[in-house]
Structure 1
Amino acid sequence: MERGVKVGFLTGLHGLADGGVGPYGERLWSTLGAHAFGPGLGVAEVPHDLHFGRGPRGRPLESFLDLLHVPAQVPPPNLRVRYACTMHDVQHLHHPEHFDAEVLAFREAAYPALLDRAAHVVVSFPHVRDDLLHHFGLPPEKVTVVPLPWGHFRLPEPPPAERARFADRHRRLGDFFLYPAQTWPHKNHLRLIDAFERFAAETGSPAGLVCTGRRNGHMAAIEARLANSPVRARVRFLGIVPEAELAWLYRRCLAVVIPTLYEAGSIPLGEAMSLGVPVACSAVTSLPDTIRNPAATFDPRDPDAIAAQLCRLAQDPAHREAIATHGSRRFEELTREPTAQRLEAAWRTALHAMAG
Structure 2
Amino acid sequence: MRITVEATPIRPGHAAGVEAFTYGLLTGMAADPSHDLRVNVLRGTLDQWRDQVSADQIGWSEIGQPLRSDTAPGQLLRRWTPTRVRDSLAVRRAVNVVRQRSVPRQRGSDITLYPFHSAPIGPGPSVVVVHDLRHLHAAFHAPGFAAVVRENVARASALVVTWPHPYRETLRLFPEAAERTALIPTPTFQPAPARAAARPEPGLLVYPSSTAAHKNHATLLEAMASLPQCRLVCPGPLVEPEASRLLARAALPDLRGRVSFPGFVTLDELNALYARADAVVIPSLWEAASGAMLEAFSWGLPVACADAEPLLAQLEFTGAEAAVFRATEPASLAEAVQRLLADRAHYATAARHANGRLAARTWTATGGDYLDVLRWVAQGRPGPMPRSTFAAELTREEAP
**Same fold, TM-score > 0.5, yes or no:** yes
- The one-letter code matched in structure 1 to 2:117 is Q
Asked if the contact 1:199/1:308 (under 8 Å) is kept, the reply is no
User: Which of the residues 177, 181, 197 maps onto 1:143?
Assistant: 181
> How far is the alpha carbon of 1:145 from its aligned partner?
0.8
Cα offset for 1:333?
A: 5.3
Distance 1:352 1:158, change over 3 A: same
Task: Answer yes or no: is the 8 Å Cα contact 1:12–1:26 preserved in 2.
Answer: no
Say if 2:30 and 2:37, in contact at 8 Å, map to a contact too. Answer: no
In structure 2, the partner of 1:178 is 206
- CA drift of 1:287 comes to 2.7
Q: Distance in 1 between matches of 2:113 and 2:354?
A: 31
- The structural deviation recorded for 1:134 is 3.0
Q: Verify the 8 A CA contact 1:147 1:337 in the aligned structure 2.
A: no
Please give the alpha-carbon distance, in whole angstroms, between the structure 2 residues aligned to 1:311 and 1:226: 21
Report the counterpart of residue 109 of structure 2 in structure 1: 65
Question: What's the CA shift for 1:8?
Answer: 3.2
Post-superposition Cα deviations, 1:252-290, rounded to whole Å, max 9, x if no partner, equal 011111111100122222222223333332343153235
When the two chains are superposed, the root-mean-square deviation of aligned CA atoms in Å is: 3.5
1:270–1:113 CA distance, 2 compared to 1 (3 A): same
- Could you tell me which residue of structure 2 aligns to residue 342 of structure 1? 369
1:80-119 equivalences under 5 Å are 80-94=123-137, 96-97=139-140, 104-119=142-157
- Whichever residue aligns with residue 111 of structure 2, its letter is L
Partner of residue 96, structure 2: none
Shift of 1:352: 4.6
Any conservation in 1 of the 2:4–2:38 contact (CA below 8 Å)? yes
Aligned length: 320
- Structure 1 window deviating more from structure 2 (293-302 vs 257-266): it is 293-302
**1:325 aligns with one of 323, 331, 352:** 352
1:170 corresponds to which residue? none
How far off is 1:211 after superposition? 1.1
- 1:20-67: CA deviation from partner (whole Å, max 9, x where unpaired): 212111101222234587xxxx352324255669xxxxxx86543211
Partner of 2:100: none
Q: CA deviation at 1:10?
A: 4.1
Distance apart, 1:341 and its partner CA: 4.2
Residue 46 of structure 1: which of 10, 31, 39 is its match?
Answer: 39
Preserved CA contact (<8 Å) 1:158 1:248: no
User: How far apart are the structure 2 equivalents of 1:186 and 1:174?
Assistant: 28
Q: TM-score, normalised by structure 1?
A: 0.76
Match of 1:198 in 2: 226
CA-to-partner distance for each residue in 1:116-147, whole Å, 9 max, x for gaps? 11111111123223333333453211211111
Within 5 Å, give how 1:164-243 maps onto structure 2: 175-200=203-228, 206-216=229-239, 217-226=241-250, 228=252, 230-243=254-267
Could you say which residue in structure 2 is the equivalent of 1:21? Answer: 18
Q: Does 1:351 align with 2:378?
A: yes
8 Å Cα contact 2:306/2:326 also seen in 1:
yes
Q: Gaps (5+ residues) in structure 2?
A: 44-60, 64-103, 384-400
Given that residues 27 and 153 in structure 1 are in contact (C-alpha distance below 8 angstroms), is that contact kept between their aligned partners in structure 2? Answer: no
